[in-house]
Structure 1
Amino acid sequence: MPHPKPLEPKALAGRRILLARTADRARALASLLTGAGAEPVVLPLIDFERAEDQSPLDAAVDRLSAGGFDWLVVSSITTVRVLLEQAAERGVALAHLVPAGTRVATIGESSRRALESVGLAVALAPTEAQSAEGLLGLWTAAPAQVFLPQADIAAPGLREGLAAKGADVTAVTAYHTVDYPARTERRLTAELPSAVVVQDHAPRMVSPAEAREAFDAGTMDAVVLASPSGARRIARDFPELGRCQVIAIGRPTAAAASQLGLTVAATAKEPTPDGIVAALESVFANEGNPQ
């Protein structure tokens, strides 16, 4: 995938950027921001737990491994972690859990890299509109048996869109989205492949109280919303953002933020670290550097 044009070095220099996600999921973006002269900080708002009732997921994964599905559709990087845990519980690698005859589709670039890094070929993935709509726009497969593991709060659009195209969709709750931090006994523990984890540039974590103080003082330049659920938490916990600009990772997150009354200054054209940095640059390119 081509990368955006290199940023003007002064556009983000000195900007303090809040990343509303956990540190491990923010590292790649934090690395780019640091390289651009910004100061990224993270505020974890949501976390992920195993489904309360694992039996539907276990049954579907058993069916998957037995060749019962034509397609596996992976809609998030967290779903990859769930599948890695399912494979580990069965004592096999994820590449061996998915039969050779089952094709894999995914949405995001990080999910695609993670799946390919463990030996799974991705047959279908949007490169422009990396969203449910983008995947559905590419879907020309004949009616098929489709396994769709998702979050408990997943919007119905992907499932309904696949069904409308003639697929027989088995959608199961693979994980629950919860307020940070997840319960220790239920937290997802599978490590993401090194291909999607940046080992350096660990961003500094701030507390909700520190973030609120920065918003009130006008010392936070932007907040990056990585999901609709993250937007809901920001709107709930920080009703006043002061001069802070809101950047959305993609159109669904931007729509959720707008519905919550947040003013979205820019939406990433691609839901990738490069795309988010480009969106931030578009907001600050014509402003002077912070004092």
Structure 2
Amino acid sequence: MSVEAKPLSGLRVLVPRGGTWGDIVSKALREQGAHTVIAPLVDFAHTREEEKLVEALKTLEEGGFDWMTATSSTVADVLQHHNAVIPPETKVAIVGEATAVAFRDAGYHITCTPERENSTHALLEEWPEIDTGEVLRVLTLRSDVAIPVLTQGLIERGHDVTQVLAFRTVGVPASVHIREDIESGRINAVLVASARIAEEVASQFPDIPDTTIVPCVGVNTIEAAAALGLPSEADQPSHPLYETKRALIETVESVIEQSDMLD
């Protein structure tokens, strides 16, 4: 496929997260012809459940869990920060390409990841050990703003689940240069990948041009963006930017599970 034929050819897209997540999303967008600008609008801070986290990681190292789960690449950073050890006998279930890359880069093993799609629901469907009737001891680590779909699914199946909020999500001010590029229209699209990012986009960029595409990924993100009054002109199939917006959303969804979008 030529560069001209790619669906995002020539589009300059702001990617609002850094790290492994930002690298993987940027790579996927560039493969579709886009130019990407990584400008983190959110970052991660210590959890308010630090004591609970430290205790859970101690239990993890001692072999107190049959399984642990992660749906965010940031969990790998948290584990490394605490010098956490995952013993060989503890199995690890993860969701999302970014999560897998971060775990492998950190030297942690992965036992199970969904094959059908990057989805928490797919993991619950494809994870045979959780439906045998045996009660498993499972540690689930997630963000303070993540919806506990995986945790709830395990609890509903009768497993012994220890859930810990491993990190908090906080806003990061964009640089003056980024704000100027958005207000002038030099950035053609601002990716909104979570409700928390929607809040930052709405507060930091109140004068987004009408020609700028604001693709929102995930139902919760769409609802939050609408409540915040973010632009939605390209939502209708008749709109000339509709196909480009859909291509942006589908590209992100192809590599990132929604549970890793801080919702």
- Give the TM-score range, shorter chain: 0.7 to 0.9
- Taking every aligned residue pair, what percent have the same amino acid on both sides? 32
Written as runs of structure 1 = structure 2, the 5 A alignment for 1:1-291 is 9=5, 11-22=7-18, 25-31=21-27, 33-34=29-30, 37-87=33-83, 97-140=85-128, 141=130, 142-180=134-172, 207=175, 209-241=176-208, 242-258=210-226, 260-262=228-230, 263=232, 265-266=245-246, 267-268=249-250, 271-272=253-254
AA at the equivalent of 2:192: L
Check whether the contact 2:118–2:254 (CA below 8 A) recurs between aligned residues: no
Structure 2 gaps, min length 5:
236-244, 258-263
Deviation at 1:81, TM superposition (A): 0.6
User: How many residues are aligned here?
Assistant: 238
Alpha carbons of structure 1 residues 128 and 252: separation in structure 2 relative to 1, 3 Å: farther
Structure 1 gaps, min length 5:
88-93, 182-205, 276-291
Query: What SS does structure 1 have at the residue aligned with 2:111?
Result: coil
Check whether the contact 2:24–2:98 (CA below 8 A) recurs between aligned residues: no
Partner Cα distance (2:205, 2:36) in 1? 18
The equivalent residue for 1:194 is none
Q: TM-score, normalised by structure 2?
A: 0.75
Partner Cα distance (1:106, 1:50) in 2? 21
Check whether the contact 1:215–1:243 (CA below 8 A) recurs between aligned residues: no
Higher-helix-fraction structure: 2
Alpha carbons of structure 1 residues 6 and 260: separation in structure 2 relative to 1, 3 Å: farther
AA at the equivalent of 2:112: L
Partner Cα distance (2:37, 2:12) in 1? 7
Q: TM-score, normalised by structure 1?
A: 0.69
Partner Cα distance (2:229, 2:127) in 1? 34
AA at the equivalent of 1:150: R
Worse-superposed segment, 215-224 or 23-32: 23-32
Deviation sequence 1:51-77 (CA, Å, 0-9, x none)? 244210010011111111111011200
Partner Cα distance (2:228, 2:127) in 1? 32
Check whether the contact 1:16–1:222 (CA below 8 A) recurs between aligned residues: yes
Partner Cα distance (2:2, 2:67) in 1? 37
Deviation sequence 1:121-163 (CA, Å, 0-9, x none)? 4232223442333323334414311101221222233322221
Alpha carbon RMSD of aligned pairs, Å?
3.1
